[in-house]
C-alpha cells in the first residue's frame, strides 16, 4: 500500500438514525458519524482539501512544513496529512486541549507547542508561519477553503445520505467552516432547509447573530471543546443561519453520557451540544420531520475529561456521573 492511501479513508462517513431519541413518531434525528475519519474527527476533510489546493497552486512542495493553530482536532489532521505525504508539521494548541489530543498530534510526528489561555495560539501559528518561506499556514479560522471543503464533501454527502429529505440541519461552530459549507450546499439544493447554530453559553456567535451590539461582552469560559468562539472569524458565514440556540456544558455533557449508554456512540462534547439541540428542535416539530446533525469527533479524545468522574466533579458536574 502506498503512503498516500491513508488519505483515501477520509470522508464517506455513515449517517445514523438516533432512534432512541426520536421524540414522537415521524420526527427523526439523524447524525453523520464524523468520528469515523482516520484521526477521529471531520477536520481530516478540511486539511486534506486545503493541502491538495496548496499542492495544486504550487504553494506546498516536499520541503513544506505545515503550521497551524488548533484546539486539537485540526492539529491531529494536519499532523496525519503531513505524515502521510512525507511533510513536517508544527501545531500550536491552547492549554485547555485534552492530554489525549496532544498525544495524538505528537504520535503522527508533529511538533506541538502548548500556549497558555492568556496568549492566542492562532496568532502564534501565524507568526511562526511568517518566519520561513517553507512554512505554510493552514489558517482554518480565516481561509475560505475550510467552508469550501465541507461544501464539496460533507454537505454533498449529507444531502445524498438523506436523499434530500432534510428539514433542519443543526450544529455548533468554532471556525464555522462546517456549518457554513454544509449549510450553503443544503440551501442551494433546497432553500427550505433551516440551518440552525447550536452555540455554547460564553461564545459570542449567538449574541452576534441576535444583533447584540455588545456581543463581545458575552464571552466567558466554558468547557466544551470545538464549539463557539470569543471573536468573529472569516470562515463563519452568519448569512447562512436561520436561527441560533444556546446550550451549556451540563446539557452537552449529559447528552454525551446518554449517547454512550443509549445509542452505543462514544463522542465528544460538541456532539453532545449538537444532539441536545437537535432533540430540542425535534420536540417542537410538527410531524413528519427530519433533523440532521453531525458527530464531529470521538469520545476517545476526552477520556481524561468527559469520561473521567474526577474531572466532572472538578467542574461541578459530578452529579452526571453514573456508577
Ligand X SMILES: Cc1ncc(COP(=O)(O)O)c(C=O)c1O
* Residues at the contact surface with ligand X, assessed by CB under 6 A: 41, 71, 73, 172-178, 225-227, 268, 270, 296-297
Q: Give 284-303 as a DSSP string.
A: HPPSSEEEEEEE-BBGGGGT
CA distances from 217 to 118, 140, 212, 222, 322 (A): 17, 24, 10, 14, 36
Q: Which residue lies nearer to ligand X by CB, 155 or 177?
A: 177
Query: Is cis: bond before 288, omega within 30 of 0?
Result: yes
Minimal distance, residue 80 CB to ligand X, in Å: 14
CA 303/CA 24 separation, integer angstroms: 33
CB neighbour burial string for 213-228, b if at least 16 within 10 angstroms, e if fewer: eebeebeeebbbbbbb
Q: Which residue lies nearer to ligand X by CB, 71 or 143?
A: 71
Minimal distance, residue 183 CB to ligand X, in Å: 11
Beta bridge partner(s), residue 246: 199
Q: What angle do CA 143, 170, 271 make, to 5 degrees?
A: 85
CA 85/CA 140 separation, integer angstroms: 19
Q: Which residue lies nearer to ligand X by CB, 65 or 174?
A: 174
Minimal distance, residue 34 CB to ligand X, in Å: 9
Can you tell me which residue has the cell 503512503? 3
Residue 33 main-chain phi, psi, to 5 deg: -85, 85
Q: Which residue lies nearer to ligand X by CB, 27 or 272?
A: 272
Minimal distance, residue 71 CB to ligand X, in Å: 5
DSSP 119: S
Q: Which residue lies nearer to ligand X by CB, 173 or 255?
A: 173
Q: Which residue lies nearer to ligand X by CB, 147 or 282?
A: 147
CA 204/CA 38 separation, integer angstroms: 31
Q: Which residue lies nearer to ligand X by CB, 171 or 279?
A: 171
CA 146/CA 187 separation, integer angstroms: 18
Minimal distance, residue 4 CB to ligand X, in Å: 25
Nearest to 297 by CA among 45, 8, 91: 45
Minimal distance, residue 154 CB to ligand X, in Å: 9
Minimal distance, residue 267 CB to ligand X, in Å: 9
DSSP 289: E
Q: Which residue lies nearer to ligand X by CB, 143 or 174?
A: 174
Minimal distance, residue 165 CB to ligand X, in Å: 24
CA 295/CA 279 separation, integer angstroms: 14
Amino acid at each position: 500500500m502506498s503512503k498516500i492511501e491513508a488519505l483515501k479513508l477520509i470522508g464517506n462517513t455513515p449517517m445514523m438514525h438516533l432512534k432512541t431519541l426520536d421524540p414522537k413518531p415521524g420526527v427523526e434525528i439523524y447524525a453523520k458519524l464524523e468520528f469515523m475519519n482516520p484521526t477521529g474527527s471531520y477536520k481530516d476533510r478540511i486539511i486534506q482539501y486545503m493541502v491538495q489546493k496548496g499542492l495544486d497552486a504550487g504553494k506546498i512542495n516536499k520541503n513544506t512544513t505545515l503550521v497551524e493553530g488548533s484546539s486539537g482536532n485540526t492539529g491531529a489532521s494536519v499532523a496525519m496529512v503531513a505524515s502521510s505525504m512525507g511533510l513536517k508539521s508544527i501545531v500550536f494548541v491552547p492549554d485547555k486541549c485534552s492530554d489525549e489530543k496532544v498525544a495524538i498530534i505528537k504520535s503522527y510526528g508533529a511538533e506541538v507547542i502548548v500556549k497558555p489561555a492568556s496568549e492566542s495560539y492562532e496568532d502564534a501559528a501565524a507568526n511562526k508561519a511568517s518566519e520561513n518561506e517553507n512554512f505554510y499556514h493552514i489558517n482554518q479560522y480565516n481561509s475560505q477553503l475550510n467552508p469550501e471543503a465541507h461544501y464539496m464533501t460533507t454537505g454533498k454527502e449529507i444531502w445524498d445520505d438523506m436523499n434530500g429529505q432534510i428539514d433542519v440541519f443543526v450544529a455548533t461552530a468554532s471556525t464555522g467552516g462546517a456549518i457554513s459549507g454544509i449549510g450553503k450546499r443544503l440551501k442551494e439544493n433546497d432553500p427550505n432547509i433551516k440551518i440552525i447554530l447550536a452555540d455554547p453559553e460564553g461564545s459570542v456567535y449567538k449574541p452576534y447573530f441576535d444583533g447584540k451590539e455588545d456581543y463581545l461582552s458575552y464571552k466567558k469560559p466554558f468547557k466544551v471543546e470545538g464549539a463557539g468562539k470569543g471573536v468573529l472569524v472569516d470562515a463563519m458565514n452568519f448569512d447562512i443561519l436561520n436561527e441560533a440556540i444556546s446550550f451549556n456544558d451540563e446539557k452537552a455533557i449529559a447528552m454525551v453520557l446518554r449517547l454512550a449508554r443509549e445509542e452505543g456512540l462514544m463522542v465528544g462534547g460538541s456532539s453532545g451540544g449538537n444532539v441536545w439541540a437537535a432533540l430540542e428542535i425535534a420536540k417542537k416539530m410538527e410531524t413528519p420531520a427530519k433533523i440532521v446533525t453531525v458527530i464531529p469527533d470521538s469520545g476517545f479524545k476526552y477520556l481524561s475529561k468527559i469520561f473521567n468522574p474526577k474531572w466532572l466533579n472538578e467542574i461541578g458536574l459530578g452529579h452526571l456521573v453514573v456508577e
